Structure 1
Amino acid sequence: MSGKPRDNEGNREGATDLKEELNKKIKEQKVVVDELSNLKKNRKVYTQQRNSSIFFLADRGQTLGSCKKELDNMKRDLQDM
């Protein structure tokens, strides 16, 4: 028996794991977008600095827009798989 079928199965399992992980991130991002969409106009929004535990005051509209864009990119990546 050759090792190729095992490699293909491993690749399929790896791709399935990646899809599951991406689906999980998409669900999380949908929650973020919904939460930002339902905030009152006067509520403050803070974003976390990358690779840090520091949060900065951010514009709600810009944050919502960037979160929607990130969600769209994730969905596109999932379709490309």
Structure 2
Amino acid sequence: MNIILNPNEVATVISLFTAQILDGVDLSDEGKDAIRAWRTDRAPGRDGLEAFADDFNEALMSHIEESTTRRYVRSGRMTRGTAEERARA
């Protein structure tokens, strides 16, 4: 399965996560300012968003790949397993 988010979709994810952190965690003003600055650096139209979107998509696909069960041949028989199980086979 391939899921690739465009930079604007990644910006939406960033906004949702940072809003949850800012609203739900007891942080110092300095910590809140650092999160806001980090989010601003990755706003739509900023250079930081493109690079972050690439890293985000790579991490997302790695997570999906690691948790996806697929069929593979082991000792001449078809079996199912995750990427980790396939690597050990």
Q: TM class by shorter-chain length?
A: 0.3 to 0.5
User: Whose RCO is larger (CA < 8 A, sep 6+)?
Assistant: 1
TM-score for the superposition, normalised by structure 2: 0.32
